[in-house]
Chain A
């Protein structure tokens, strides 16, 4: 209690532990730590799984790309950081078999390639695929894509000529994990050992080739390498990492990550509310004790130190236990995933443990300090006067302690200052809105309650208490409704974006004269396909000024300008696109261009800018009339720049389309290839499978983490009820002594909490409707949808949940004799 050292502190702690509030506080801290830790552990595992999935598409954790060979310094740098390395050189060449020739896309790769993911090969075309390491390919052997076998009529074991030497076609390449980037590679793929490249004599300093260096290793060392290399890169060199990986993967990953982050954050806020309520109720309970201790001569700083020591001890214990339980929980979920869903998660990081401990300490300190300061100032005189009522902390004191604590918690979870700041302001605005609307609504109800026939509203008369309950319940319900709504939208959106019949083949190079016949062929096979024109043009001027690569510093812009754009004509806005600015073409043939958001940003296009394109010598100029966001994971043809339908009629063009060919009907592909020899067929099934796997992981994570938030929400509900239990006890004692029977009290409790819960649910539903739309637009790129069902769901679930929880919490008091209630 005072200066007695650890032994005395432990004794005090053990005694204080007998207080029911200490146990509730422990429970609240335990659940919050459990939520934070399990969410943290689980998120880190899913994040790693998703990153590793994304790494596979990149071939490593960090990739350097250039049109020229790299300086050996880069490799030395990576070696000093003990990172794994692999190398590839990509170029096009002709393969000859007798007098037949075929253009191929060659990847000459080192033994370790790819650092993430695996090749899949088959012994003959159509045979089952199996994983195989590149090192199993011996010198003088190559793997080639199925199309090379079809086009040249060769079989595995046959010999091909590549440059100055011959190679043996060892197996059929079924899957190159690093295909995400070269989806639209027209030529069949060919994988050969890097060591054999020189002997082919194909690569000279003037050759057009893409050089890649890949690195893999622990994230911290990868970051270190990026930091070291970034300032030394030539303008022709660029770094690619998971963050700027293939757009297909990136969007799904980012959305899932944002949702998980948001859910973790909400569970912290909810747990914080539970702890604030319980800490306040603990301190209230301790007021008489402190008055007695002060009369006996205890000083204020001793009191503060004593309580803080007790609370910190409790926080550490609860957080440790909670983190362990959280670890166990996510371990079970991870194991379940492994056995049922076939998804292997990597082991968790230890950081969530630290976050859970810090969270518990910040919560217990920030939320109890204002009450502790007040407790210290309890006048000892109160003990003589008998008015042992706890004082309410001053508003500024509450704000000074609780607000920074909340901000730190948000920061800990969000991991980034700016986001934490926005969330903090949003939370404050939300709470103020809840408080204001609640006060207004309760004032209205109470006014109504004064009228004859409306006396049943009387239980709400304790308006401060009722307001507090409504705000706490509404916050909890809002969180749950918002997450539920986002989760449904998000998961639904992912599933919609990858329906069972998502396109798995692309057809390109369709000549205009083949179009009608191809459409007929597809209709005969009952295949749906929408053919888009594809016009290849080079951007030459912006607003009349010539465009040169030198005007742009960043490699992406330079690369875009070096290549030809795939332009198209669009009659309607594709389902996977969303208009961000400007207006869609009022009718086909209208002048104007619609531009994808990312490219508009890279090349600094603004609405109204006039762009000049050169299409095989024909020049046209159109203004930018709209900017679109494109969902790249739709697996449909998408275009950076497009004109309205028919506007580019005079320009030379081919057509492109995507198709879904159901499993077992792959012979249609062969018929296509034979019937339309000029058309290039690209199999995107492999990339689709990767995206599906990723979406499966993300969906599961989202569902699982939502459950943890639900648990945190229920704890808040009970903490709020428990914090008002002593007051309820006295109230019930008085009502019972005045003659209120069991049934009357029962009805009163149900009525009060159904009303409060319903009101809280209605408010929560309203704000969730607004919040889910805001979050949908700004965080998840989902469409705005006002869902009135949220209001109904909020009101009904609020009334029932709160009513039932209150009944559960207070039913014991109903059976207690009034004298026992008075005694406390």
Chain B
């Protein structure tokens, strides 16, 4: 069997709200309990849950944006435990893509420049990065919008730019955090179709956090976060 792209083992995350209190309303708050999961290469996994159930916290731990209270995460076969923030960042560089609920495009840049950004982050940027970024935007149907400042694009178009930005590096792993959360139904549907198409084309592993159970059902694995624990759901 291939090495999993992502593996989490008995993750716990506890927040200390008020130092000195061991229990009660001001005591430590356990958000995640004994969470374990595995994402195989080119596999897809959805995490659903109510608001405040800890979905984003889990995504942050899986991506190495935050550290667990206990347990371990392996990204591309490398453990994140004991690594500094910068070492964890180096592990993501060029291999991990993100799609955020609020798009988080850089407002002062054009669509093309936003997509070129992850390519430029590489230590030795390739010479054809502009062509690759253009191609990525063509693939999400924004050929006519390359040089538009992103603030002039509609919500759906902005999220498509975000998709192009995520896939332009041909990531081994893509984290999508409520990718349709800020979009209307029709636009959301279009974005999701493109997301799965790209994931399939590039054989990217996908970790998808969403409210939308229809969307979750399209993934190979589906977990629901209830009371800090993961429960497998049969798609």
Contact = CB atoms under 8 A, between A and B. Distances in A.
Contact of B65 (A12, A301, A379): A379
B65 A295 contact: yes
Contacts of B113: 15
Nearest to B64: A380
A18 interface: yes
A8 interface: yes
B104 A288 contact: yes
Nearest to B118: A296
Contacts of A379: 65-66
Interface string B110-129: 00010001101111110000
A804 interface: no
23 contacts: A2-B121, A4-B120, A8-B125, A12-B120, A15-B108, A18-B109, A19-B108, A288-B104, A292-B104, A295-B98, A296-B92, A297-B90, A297-B93, A297-B94, A299-B89, A299-B90, A300-B86, A380-B60, A380-B63, A381-B65, A384-B56, A384-B177, A386-B102
B134 to A, nearest CB: 16
Interface residues on B, range: 35 or more
A380 B157 CA distance: 24
Contact of B121 (A11, A288, A297, A301): A297
Given A18-B108, A381-B60, A385-B56, A294 B121 contact: no
Contacts of A4: 120, 124-125
A299 B84 CA distance: 10
Contacts of A2: 120-123, 125
Interface in A1-48: 1-4, 8, 11-12, 15-16, 18-19
B9 interface: no
Interface in A299-322: 299-301
Contacts of A300: 85-86, 89
Q: Quick one: which of B98, B102, B124, B177 has the most chain A CB within 10 A?
A: B98
Interface in B140-174: 151
Given A301-B86, A384-B177, A296 B93 contact: yes
A383 interface: yes
A288 B98 CA distance: 14
A298 interface: yes
B101 interface: yes
Contact of B101 (A292, A381, A386): A386
Given A289-B106, A384-B100, A384-B177, A3 B123 contact: yes
Contacts of A291: 104
B195 interface: no
B90 to A, nearest CB: 6
A381 B94 CA distance: 19
A615 to B, nearest CB: 86
A297 B92 contact: yes
A293 interface: yes
B59 interface: yes
A295 B90 contact: no
A2 B93 CA distance: 11
B96 interface: yes
Contacts of A297: 89-96, 121
Given A1-B117, A298-B121, A379-B65, A384 B59 contact: yes
B86 to A, nearest CB: 4
Interface string A264-300: 0000000000000000000000001101111111111
Given A2-B120, A289-B106, A292-B106, A383 B93 contact: no
Contacts of B94: 297
B149 to A, nearest CB: 8
B66 A296 contact: no
B45 to A, nearest CB: 17
Contacts of A299: 86, 89-90
Contacts of B121: 1-2, 293, 296-298
A379 B56 CA distance: 14
A3 B106 CA distance: 20
Nearest to A293: B121
Contacts of A296: 92-93, 96, 98, 117-118, 121
Contacts of B98: 292, 295-296, 383
A15 B113 CA distance: 9
A627 to B, nearest CB: 65
Contacts of B90: 297, 299
Given A19-B108, A297-B93, A386-B102, 19 more contacts: A2-B123, A8-B120, A12-B120, A15-B108, A15-B109, A16-B108, A292-B100, A293-B117, A293-B121, A296-B92, A296-B93, A297-B91, A297-B121, A298-B93, A298-B121, A299-B90, A383-B65, A384-B100, A823-B151
A823 B66 CA distance: 29
Nearest to A3: B123
Q: Quick one: which of A12, A296, A380, A385 has the most chain B CB within 10 A?
A: A296
Contact of A383 (B96, B104, B117): B104
B216 to A, nearest CB: 18
Nearest to B122: A2
Q: Quick one: which of A15, A288, A384 has the most chain B CB within 10 A?
A: A384
Nearest to A1: B120
A296 B65 CA distance: 10
A-B pairs with lowest CB-CB distance, top 3: A297-B93, A297-B92, A18-B108
A425 to B, nearest CB: 39
A583 B56 CA distance: 81
A291 B102 CA distance: 13
A294 B106 contact: no
Contacts of A384: 56, 59-60, 65, 100, 177
B76 to A, nearest CB: 12
A478 to B, nearest CB: 36
Interface in A367-385: 379-381, 383-385
Interface string A460-490: 0000000000000000000000000000000
